[in-house]
Structure 1
Amino acid sequence: MNPTAYLLLTAARNEEAHIEGTIQAVIAQTQKPVRWMIVSDGSVDRTDEIVSRYAALHPFIELMRASADPTRNFGSKARAINAAYERVRRLDVSFVGVLDADVTFDPSYYAAVLQRMLDAPRLGLAGGMLFDWSDGQFIQQVTDPDWSVSGPIQLFRKDCFEAIGGYLPVRGGVDAVAEVMTRMKGWKVQAFPELHVMHHRQTGTEQRGLLSVFFQRGIEDYQLGYQALFFAGHALRRIREPPWLLGSLLMATGYAWAFLRRTPRKVPSDFIRYLHTEQWTRIRARFYGRQGETL
């Protein structure tokens, strides 16, 4: 078997404006996936038609239809991704990629990520650097490449994806949960800033306004168990993201709102304990000046 054989999983709902560009980007890859499962998650636009047209021409593409969740959220994405994986989990591949339906990248993108993963056997989750479309331009996401790979482009070693049990179907933050669980299982997470991926909308804005997205991020960070001091640094870093300072303030407001309401956590207690230990380690490293440790 080719040691870089991989499959892709995509959950798409009403993506007629973007999915064709994503399909063309995958078709153009110098190393194509063995199978690409595209789940139409209750689409009512031309998404199914577009995918079917390309699937007829490219046998590695397969359309799978799923019943719509009444509200579009990351929990429904997780369920769609997990259902698609169950259909293809017995394929003889070494890597599993989760790909959103609104991104584009260079023809060598997947070959480059796969080679980097081959060179680092403990690298369980990898990807490039995401650039969100905002205010008429692509802006690099604010993230720490040593700790995080953006949700739209997460590529897992298959053993790692199996070990974490796929995506946990929580409402919001499934990609962040996957990152933490990857490290809990002893794998590394790494993004490669030199590999650019264009995201043709700002993350999380599919069905919500930009301002509500940042408020919801604060709620989700609380529900995921973020330690308060770590969250403060995390929110401050978002000053560099549109809508700049306002986004950070809205995140802080969302976190405080969830704290005051004692909003239930949505992850297991062992997950929260591990996350707190990891975040305190990063805080101490930050204050003692070690390189590569940011909030």
Structure 2
Amino acid sequence: MRFLIIIPAHNEENNLSFTLDSLQQQGSKDFKVVVVNDGSTDRTAEVIRKYTETDPRFETINLQKSEHQPGSKVVHAFKNGLQKQSMDDFDIICKFDADIILPENYLGTLETAFAANPAYGLIGGLLYVEKDGHWIYEGNSNKNHVRGPMKAYRKECFIQIGGLRETLGWDNIDSILLDNLGWKEVVLPELQVKLIKVKGADYTIRPADYYGRYFYFLGLNRFLAYIASSKEAMKSKSPSFFFDIISSYENCRSKKMELKITKEEQKAVNDQRWKMLKKKWLKM
């Protein structure tokens, strides 16, 4: 299997070399890497050049800086890298971040899993972060969900779900859509991926605004959005947080902000969320 790996990068001069080195050290060598330099103002371009000038598997695309919005920015850069390539030449489409370190057997293990399991549409490992000199499981998501920094899609699955959406919630939308189409999302816990920096640290959006917009752009109906908001409020033990999230969600609804999913896909999202609700809360 041949891998197409697209890496959006903005001001990653301190992290990117770790990611690209870990790719060069892979046991599986049949891949192409496209680093999308998204308007970096630091030495990111110089870091990229060290690889493109010495390794023909590495290419770069330079963009003007796109608007820094959670979700849409990184997917916009990813799509710019993808449209310059012919997917006919590849079997696996990867969206990796510019601040991860992959174990040397990462691509080889993915290839084996994809080859042995035709229903596998999306595979990834688990993220680990450094704390007090030790790498520990990040724990931001359940262990059955492939996180955004290390997505690897079977090409046929990627095409069927319509690729990635330039919207907040894109890395949950893909999971729901592929499941609805009969594909499987699989996490291989033995693949420990090191995340160099904490995600979301540079976002200026308030947490309540983030969740409200996230639930809206995910396509949740009002009932499910309110349920999800109450769960977040309970986590923070703040009743006011619930109303702040709802205010953000309703503001998006009143403005009729454009969704990046179709009516049919929106129904699939809500159906899946409703199944989760019945299973976890109602024990049905």
Distance 2:212 2:184 in 1: 25
The structure 1 residue matched to 2:245, chosen from 236, 249, 255, is 255
Does the aligned pair in 2 maintain the 1:215–1:254 contact within 8 Å? yes
- Superposed, 1:36-55 pairs within 5 Å as 36-55=33-52
Say if 1:114 and 1:214 are closer, same or farther in 2 by CA, change over 3 A. Answer: farther
- Superposed, 1:226-237 pairs within 5 Å as 226=220, 227-228=224-225, 231=228, 235=232
Establish whether residue 76 from structure 1 lines up as the match of residue 73 from structure 2.
yes
Does the aligned pair in 2 maintain the 1:133–1:202 contact within 8 Å? no
Give the drift of 1:79: 1.9
Give the drift of 1:142: 3.0
Match of 1:92 in 2: 89
Distance 1:131 1:251 in 2: 29
Distance 1:276 1:110 in 2: 33
Distance 1:252 1:18 in 2: 36
Give the drift of 1:234: 6.1
Give the drift of 1:224: 1.1
Say if 1:109 and 1:284 are closer, same or farther in 2 by CA, change over 3 A. Answer: same
Match of 2:100 in 1: 103
Match of 2:177 in 1: 181
Distance 2:240 2:146 in 1: 23
Amino acid at match of 2:43: R
Give the drift of 1:222: 3.1
Structure 1 vs Structure 2 CA RMSD: 2.8
The structure 2 residue matched to 1:268, chosen from 262, 266, 269, is 262
Structure 2 unaligned residues grouped into runs of 5+: none
- Superposed, 1:1-295 pairs within 5 Å as 4-71=1-68, 73-133=70-130, 138-146=136-144, 148-170=145-167, 172-205=168-201, 207-208=202-203, 212=206, 215-226=209-220, 227-228=224-225, 231=228, 235=232, 245=236, 252=242, 255-263=245-253, 264=256, 266=259, 267-287=261-281
Amino acid at match of 2:169: G
Say if 1:63 and 1:278 are closer, same or farther in 2 by CA, change over 3 A. Answer: same
- Worse-matched range after superposition: 131-140 or 87-96: 131-140
- Worse-matched range after superposition: 15-24 or 218-227: 218-227
Give the drift of 1:167: 1.4
Structure 1 unaligned residues grouped into runs of 5+: 240-244, 291-295
Distance 1:103 1:236 in 2: 31
1:206-264 CA-to-partner distances (Å, cap 9, x unmatched) read: x226x935751443123312323662586389x5xxxxx47x98974653222342544
Distance 1:122 1:27 in 2: 29
Q: Secondary structure at the match of 1:280?
A: helix
Give the drift of 1:180: 2.0
TM-score, normalised with respect to structure 2: 0.85
Does the aligned pair in 2 maintain the 1:126–1:154 contact within 8 Å? yes
Q: Secondary structure at the match of 2:216?
A: helix
Distance 1:191 1:109 in 2: 12
Amino acid at match of 1:202: V
Aligned pairs, number? 276
Say if 1:208 and 1:115 are closer, same or farther in 2 by CA, change over 3 A. Answer: same
Give the drift of 1:72: 5.0
